[in-house]
Structure 1
Amino acid sequence: MNLKPLKGQHHVSAITANAKGNYEFYTQILGLRLVKKTVNQDDTSVYHLFYADERGNPGTDLTFFEIPHAGHTVFGTNSISLTSLRVPNDASIQYWKNRFEQSAVDHDEIVQVAGRASLSFRDFEGQRLMLVSDEHNVGTPGGKPWDKSPVPAEHGILGLGPVTLTVSRPERTAKVLMDVLNYREKESFTSAGQEQSQVRVFETGEGGTGGEVYLVERDDLPRERPGRGSVHHVAFRVETEEELRKWVDVLNQAGLPNSGFVERYYFRSLYFREPNGILFELATDGPGFEGDESFEHLGERLALPPYFENQRAAIEAKLKPLETTN
């Protein structure tokens, strides 16, 4: 089957228990744009918030499901344990360290990770995040920061960087990455944390910060118990719907149970779990977020795909109002 390589990260979806606090942190502190305020299409009683660059270009989306009664995450293995975000250069990393200090954001010191200046930090619910410098990046291009962001464009977040998978049996995940998804194993490095874990680097497409996945073995930890501050799934970029339908066949031929083709309106999707239980999604680059809102007013109102529009009154009645006017 003639398949184009996956193009890198499409989006990462995580869990929050507080949509208002989440909106304030990711727009006012991190300077991302809320490009879509909608609902979880599998449970329309909860918000699904999409933060990204100026228009939600593929590879720039960090999204959250609001689950108001979500408990605290018990961090562990078989999880997406770290989401990184790209910034333009090394000077930007220093800018962000100063910004975090001024805003009392929990953060570590600047370190080198895989040859890139990096800064780990946590949001108000303990979501594990890291900024990585694109100064020496050669590979998947980043997005374009919104010009109305409170963060200067020269230091603005450009999109998603490497996503870290922590698993108990890494060979199982590596086999899916390489034999099914056609990733290339690029290199390995020792993590800067106390556990000094070996990190294997896999890349796809043009590679670089937007096309890498990190794989870490931790068989000394219990399985993660998700809650607020945990990651629900990671999605990888597929160029077109035609390509996505080919991937359905690939997963079926590989014997991997999957969702089959799923219509999400803003993109088309395919879901499956790799053998350690982490949820992967393949998602198309389009159509994008401007089919139901103009560029100037993205994220300002509750947006519903057409197939939910006749339920708007009932859906809105279940949601706590969230003011998001730009």
Structure 2
Amino acid sequence: MTDRTQSPVGASASTGTAPRYWTTRRRDQLAAYLFITPQLIGTIVFVLIPLGLVGWYSLHEWNVLADTFDFVGGENYQALLDDPKLPGVLAATGIFSVGLVILNLGLALLLAVLLNQKLRGTIVFRTIFFSPVVVSLVAWTIVWNFLLQDNGGINGLLDAIGIAGPNWLRGEGTAMAAVVVVQVIKNVGLNMVLFLAALQGVPADLYEAAKMDGASRWRQFRAITVPMISPTILLTSIITVVGALQVFAQIAVLTQGGPGTSTTVLVYYLYQQAFQFHHFGYGATLSVLLFGIVLLLTVVQWQMRRKWVFHES
């Protein structure tokens, strides 16, 4: 007489039947792979393969007009080291990036703190400051190009109060500042929203305890607000730095790299070499340089999180 209390596993073993292949665990694993497959394919096709091709092109001299593609080894990298314009281009890139990051993060945090107050009209002002983010970048830049002309709207307003405004986009001392300000106004709303979300996640009990201890508002900001939102500060810093190093449309529309080369940043210089002068191999080499700079700065910021991000200490 068979034992009716025997387990199903034991029954399968005694009868010699194989266990089911599609177990619950394997079905879950298959579902997970199916979900990540589109993203994985997109990363391979649109990120990894182009990166590999850029590295390959940087070792060649590719003349599209003459239909030649010659292997030159490290000649493009030697030309990079010998390029007399590159130091000025890197300096302009650094000035633009530093100015943009400082102004963008500082203004975004200030607006977030002000708009986090429980006052009338804050929702309206949040919408106003965020609205430039959703405006087309080219349309935004074209409008500002008209406003910043010598006889444009900005100088018209200054002339109304008796101030003679400069030619903002043609002066070496004002062109870079104008481009930075236009870009800050365009994207400050995005970081503001991120900071607002972080501020609303700070426990109110911490502020109440600080008030009972007699801490001033500035002391509360330094000791509570900044440490608690430091992960968001790290995120916005990385995003803003990467975006600053990739700026192109603003330079192309507003200044075309001028006056002289004062606003010729690395991406615009890359565009000139590859698509205006048809030095595609050297343009690819500049792309490798840009990738290295972005990667280096991102890694440095990520490693520094242990020192100034509250939750990583």
More helix by share: 2
TM range (shorter): under 0.3
More strand by share: 1
